[in-house]
Structure 1
Amino acid sequence: MPDWRRGLGFGSLRARIFAVNIFAVIVLALMLLYIDSVRSRLLDERTTELARQAVTIAGFAADVPAPARAASIERRHFGRGTRLRLYGPDGALVADNWRGPAAQRFVLDDPAQDSWRRRSAKFIDRALEDVGSFKRVPPYVEAAPDRAGQWAEIAAAQAAQLAAARQASVATALRRAGDGNFILTAAAPLAGGAGTIHLTDSAADLTQILRAERLTSFWLLLGITGLTLLLSFYLARTIVRPLRMLAIAAHRVRLGRSREVVVPRLPERRDEIGALARALSDMSIALRLRIDATEAFAADVAHELKNPLASMRSAVDTLENVEAPALRARLLAVIRDDVARLDRLITGISEASRLDAELSRSRFEPVDVGALCAGLAAAYRTTGLESGVRIEYLPPVAGAARVLGDPARLAQVLRNLIDNAISFSPRPGMVIVSAETAPGRVFLKVEDQGPGVPPENRGDVFKRFYSQRPQSEDFGRHSGLGLSIAGSIVEAHGGSIRVDDGAVGGAVFTVELPAA
């Protein structure tokens, strides 16, 4: 099977180009998924921790007497500067641990004062969030006056407490500050409706962790991109070099040097380049064989035409010096025979030279060769009877003998075989035409009662201008092209032709064709 018809699998150029280009894309996608998963995990862990702290503080605050509750809240501080507020039942701010100059606070940077590096980092943060699965969050805004109503999580926690029969409840929220960092909040109501604890924490440290992970992933992606470029250069080199070799070979063939050009077949390449190289090599070999065949055909034509021309020249030269009427008549008869022979040769040569081109333009169609044989046998019965030869047709035993082909050319094959059989048959004699079928094959046979073909000559009978006739037959009556033309037509139909001994003497020509 040709390379271009056989699947090339992963070794094909298409698969390798796809693999090289998709590799970096897959790594980028995995990097985005990894960063997205790390961000979600860190925020979830911090949110869970903040919610647990809110519930714990709400439990302690509920046990503290109301007059001392505010002071207890304002004395509590956290390492990251977490803001702790207590809102009363009416929503007013009761206590805030950020009050006082010594309070630890997280700082929100002013975006207007950001350097270009910080602005670039924030832009990348937003871009990765847009590409990933992370949803946009509302901005962090501190309203004035500070009341519980500005925090949706406080209302959610209070509603959850009512729904849970006054058991401990908590609600959280995620917002983004103006400096690009996430702000996490958690609200937990005090037992008995005595107020609500509200915790606010900055995730600036998480942002730094994410940016460090992103930088590591960036260097990894940069390295993989470099590797991809190297693989791309290597792949381009493995494509360009053999293509340049093939282009040079094709150029040399175009300049008419096909005999000395050896197109590399690249047997180690099992991809499209290798398939192209082998196809071009086969094409150059076929072209070389066609050129050789054309040269041989021209030499054969020159040789075959030279014989009758030499005979005619000799007869014409002799005719000028002969006065005897009988001898002049014999010389004129020789000239007429040579002219007739030239006419047959030129007709056969013309048909043989057009055969390949016409076969390349032919459109094959289903042909019932059994019916074709029957029609030709019936048409030849009159011709055969006039020459003393009877034509018989034996149809196939079972089914129709159908092939894909050109009906006119297949009829020409049968005519050439029948004409050849009639010319070799004794008088009286018989020629048997038959059609047989086998699984996937169709056989056409033409059998005569002539002298047969010696085994050593059976490979030559299908060559151009080959003719082995009895001594009693006039020389030059046949062009020697009929069987050669028949063989070319059969080969163009994907079949074969051979000659064997007949069952009771003579020769039997068998044409084997693929069934339709």
Structure 2
Amino acid sequence: MEPDIATQNDSGQDSESGLSLRWSARLSLTTRILVVNVLAIALLAGGLFYLNNYRDRLTEERLTQARLQLTIVADALSSGDIANRDALVEQFASHLGARLRLYAPDGRKVIDSFELAEPTYQFVDPDAEPLRKDAARMLDKTIESVVFTTQIPNFSEPANDVAGAWSELETAERKSAAVSSVSYAPDRTPVIVAGKSLPDGAGSILLTANARDITRIVRAERASVLLVILVAATISILLSLFLARTIVRPIRKLAVAAVRVRMGRSDEIAIPRMPGRRDEIGQLSRALSDMSAALRHRIDATEAFAADVSHEIKNPLASLRSALEGLERVDDPDLQKQLLDVANDDVRRIDRLINDISDASRVDAELARAKFEPIDIGKMLEQLLAAREQRTSNLGVHIAFARPAKDVAKVMGDGGRLERVFGNLLDNAVSFSPEGGLVEILATPDGDEIVIHIADQGPGVAPDQREQVFQRFHSDRPDGEAFGKHSGLGLAIAKTIVEGHQGEIRILDRDGGESGACFEIRLPKAL
């Protein structure tokens, strides 16, 4: 079984290569909508990585601040009374929220603020914290690994607390300046360590502080960003599902209906028109519905046409077969001649039918491919009437034509097909007109249209028959005309051609109540 919906042409390539999306060819429209909207949220999530940089800047500022504070403390201790050092160290440690340690020139620890007073900070045991803290630390590690953050070492107190156990003090002595560094406490909060040598070789001073506020600030901002992302993602997903519902479902419904129409399981299948939608999908549904109706009308017309062709050809074929069978049983030369004449008439009738049927079946296709050009109706009718005069096609009927001024009655169309229309109508008018009768032709502009009237003096057409005469194989010929001289397709072909030019053809009563029929053709005026 062939696929429900064909997506490629005969060459196996996309018919509109410019519209193909190779990267998403296997994704449904719903998935694409979700992916695009979630991608926007993913870009918003980049704020989480920005917060990591924000934390690094805070840490760097805190390191600079620690070096400056330690320099101030060192200068204050060097210029103060040695007897008051313990009190100064305790005060500075309390104000700075840090731990201050002084080391003698030989590296021994001589003063420790934590031994003089209550500790200004305490490291938190991560095992004693709630689960959400573990999740926060895991998120910190994940983001740091994604953005390739420089690894920060873990902080640990030396087993032997002497000056040589601190690399910061060694570096500060070598550079003769304050030096600071950062490491992680057990709960992954920053620990600021700063060291500086005292003036005149009086020893060194070390500052350590647990900057838990940096972690709190960053995590609070991260929680805010995550909340925004969560809300935005929820709204985005809901909007995506709404778009999928309002776009994908109607398209899928149209596709299913189109497949059912193509399968032709029922004549009642119709494409939903979605009159409430004024967007592109509504336009698409109405266009598909109109196309489906036109195709159904074309199919019905083709089926009816085929049935009519079968019926119309069957009659002359039956007559021809009867004549040929009679020839085998008749010996009378005169009767044989009559049968041969009947057979010849039937052959000519079949030939005429086949030619007219061929023309009728090609009209729509040829009009669809025709390139319309500006046509001067007045000039066309004038040339057509001159040709009929030369062929003596008017059979003693006079034709009066009120020739419009040049370029007044111009339409866009196929000249050969329009000439076929007027020729058919003139043949019809002449055949119904009495000997010496008059056929009047008038072509005038009427607003955005060109109106052509062809009126004869025949018996006219009854109002209830005026639509039927344009049906295929309708035959209502004048009295005395030999049977089978017309196929009944002339007016049907004329109507098809006129409608193919976006025009209209109908039958009216003649002005003044005179006897006869008036065919009116309206065609759009050429701009």
Q: What is the TM-score with the length of structure 1 in the denominator?
A: 0.65
Matched AA of 1:347:
N
Matched AA of 2:520:
T
Deviation at 1:287, TM superposition (A): 4.0
Q: Work out whether residues 455 and 518 of structure 2, in 8 Å CA contact, stay in contact via their aligned partners in 1.
A: yes
Matched, 1:442 2:461: no
Query: 1:102 — aligned with what?
Result: 115
Paired with 2:404 and 2:115, the residues of 1 have a C-alpha distance of: 114
Q: Work out whether residues 108 and 178 of structure 1, in 8 Å CA contact, stay in contact via their aligned partners in 2.
A: no
- Per-residue CA deviation, residues 351-384 of structure 1 (Å, 9 max, x unaligned), is 2223333333x13232324343343233233235
Deviation at 1:463, TM superposition (A): 0.8
Indicate how the Cα distance of structure 1 residues 65 and 212 shifts in structure 2: closer, same or farther if over 3 A, else same.
closer
Query: 2:202 — aligned with what?
Result: none
Q: Work out whether residues 368 and 400 of structure 1, in 8 Å CA contact, stay in contact via their aligned partners in 2.
A: no
Q: What is the TM-score with the length of structure 2 in the denominator?
A: 0.64
Q: Secondary structure at the match of 1:427?
A: coil
Paired with 1:121 and 1:35, the residues of 2 have a C-alpha distance of: 10
Q: How does 1:248-267 map to 2 (within 5 A)?
A: 253=261, 256-259=264-267, 261=269
Paired with 1:438 and 1:499, the residues of 2 have a C-alpha distance of: 18
Paired with 1:293 and 1:215, the residues of 2 have a C-alpha distance of: 70
Query: 1:411 — aligned with what?
Result: 419
Q: Secondary structure at the match of 1:77?
A: helix
Deviation at 1:512, TM superposition (A): 2.1
Length, aligned pairs only: 454
Q: Work out whether residues 440 and 455 of structure 2, in 8 Å CA contact, stay in contact via their aligned partners in 1.
A: yes
- Per-residue CA deviation, residues 390-433 of structure 1 (Å, 9 max, x unaligned), is 44544445745444433332222222222222323333344444
Paired with 2:416 and 2:123, the residues of 1 have a C-alpha distance of: 94
Query: 2:79 — aligned with what?
Result: 66
Matched, 1:365 2:376: no
Match of 1:122 among 141, 152, 155: 141
Q: Work out whether residues 377 and 392 of structure 1, in 8 Å CA contact, stay in contact via their aligned partners in 2.
A: no
Matched AA of 2:172:
D
- Per-residue CA deviation, residues 312-348 of structure 1 (Å, 9 max, x unaligned), is 4555566677777666655544443333322222221
Indicate how the Cα distance of structure 1 residues 116 and 244 shifts in structure 2: closer, same or farther if over 3 A, else same.
closer
Paired with 2:255 and 2:234, the residues of 1 have a C-alpha distance of: 31
Q: How does 1:147-166 map to 2 (within 5 A)?
A: none
Query: 1:451 — aligned with what?
Result: 459
Q: How does 1:412-427 map to 2 (within 5 A)?
A: 412-427=420-435
Question: Bigger CA drift: 398-407 or 415-424?
Answer: 398-407
Paired with 1:403 and 1:106, the residues of 2 have a C-alpha distance of: 96
Paired with 1:63 and 1:176, the residues of 2 have a C-alpha distance of: 25
Paired with 1:150 and 1:376, the residues of 2 have a C-alpha distance of: 115
- Per-residue CA deviation, residues 468-506 of structure 1 (Å, 9 max, x unaligned), is 222132222211101101111222222221122334643
Indicate how the Cα distance of structure 1 residues 65 and 366 shifts in structure 2: closer, same or farther if over 3 A, else same.
same
Query: 1:507 — aligned with what?
Result: 517
Matched, 1:77 2:93: yes
Question: Bigger CA drift: 383-392 or 367-376?
Answer: 383-392
Question: Bigger CA drift: 447-456 or 340-349?
Answer: 447-456
Paired with 1:98 and 1:481, the residues of 2 have a C-alpha distance of: 121
Paired with 1:457 and 1:201, the residues of 2 have a C-alpha distance of: 107
Query: 2:479 — aligned with what?
Result: 471
Paired with 2:422 and 2:98, the residues of 1 have a C-alpha distance of: 104
Query: 2:172 — aligned with what?
Result: 146
Deviation at 1:458, TM superposition (A): 1.3
Q: Work out whether residues 311 and 338 of structure 1, in 8 Å CA contact, stay in contact via their aligned partners in 2.
A: yes
Matched, 1:484 2:476: no
Paired with 2:388 and 2:176, the residues of 1 have a C-alpha distance of: 110
Q: Work out whether residues 501 and 507 of structure 1, in 8 Å CA contact, stay in contact via their aligned partners in 2.
A: yes
Paired with 1:433 and 1:52, the residues of 2 have a C-alpha distance of: 108
Query: 1:3 — aligned with what?
Result: none
Matched AA of 2:89:
E
Q: Work out whether residues 98 and 105 of structure 1, in 8 Å CA contact, stay in contact via their aligned partners in 2.
A: no
Q: Secondary structure at the match of 2:519?
A: strand
Deviation at 1:177, TM superposition (A): 5.1
Q: Secondary structure at the match of 1:442?
A: strand
Q: How does 1:173-212 map to 2 (within 5 A)?
A: 203-211=211-219
Deviation at 1:52, TM superposition (A): 13
Paired with 2:360 and 2:511, the residues of 1 have a C-alpha distance of: 32
Q: Work out whether residues 431 and 446 of structure 1, in 8 Å CA contact, stay in contact via their aligned partners in 2.
A: yes
Q: Work out whether residues 99 and 113 of structure 2, in 8 Å CA contact, stay in contact via their aligned partners in 1.
A: no
User: Which stretches in structure 1 are left out of the alignment for 5+ residues?
Assistant: 1-13, 87-95, 110-114, 131-135, 155-173, 187-197
Indicate how the Cα distance of structure 1 residues 306 and 63 shifts in structure 2: closer, same or farther if over 3 A, else same.
closer
Q: Secondary structure at the match of 2:518?
A: strand
Indicate how the Cα distance of structure 1 residues 27 and 315 shifts in structure 2: closer, same or farther if over 3 A, else same.
closer
Question: Bigger CA drift: 292-301 or 304-313?
Answer: 304-313
Q: Secondary structure at the match of 1:471?
A: coil
- Per-residue CA deviation, residues 145-184 of structure 1 (Å, 9 max, x unaligned), is 42697879x9xxxxxxxxxxxxxxxxxxx98657886789
Query: 2:505 — aligned with what?
Result: 497
Matched AA of 1:124:
I
Paired with 1:401 and 1:41, the residues of 2 have a C-alpha distance of: 83
Paired with 2:181 and 2:403, the residues of 1 have a C-alpha distance of: 93
Q: Work out whether residues 83 and 199 of structure 1, in 8 Å CA contact, stay in contact via their aligned partners in 2.
A: yes
Paired with 1:451 and 1:260, the residues of 2 have a C-alpha distance of: 42
User: Which stretches in structure 2 are left out of the alignment for 5+ residues?
Assistant: 1-27, 103-108, 125-133, 154-166, 195-205
Q: Work out whether residues 381 and 390 of structure 1, in 8 Å CA contact, stay in contact via their aligned partners in 2.
A: no
Paired with 1:98 and 1:394, the residues of 2 have a C-alpha distance of: 126
Query: 2:384 — aligned with what?
Result: 376
Query: 1:195 — aligned with what?
Result: none
Deviation at 1:228, TM superposition (A): 6.1
Q: Work out whether residues 77 and 97 of structure 1, in 8 Å CA contact, stay in contact via their aligned partners in 2.
A: no
RMSD of aligned C-alpha atoms?
5.6
Q: Work out whether residues 271 and 288 of structure 2, in 8 Å CA contact, stay in contact via their aligned partners in 1.
A: yes
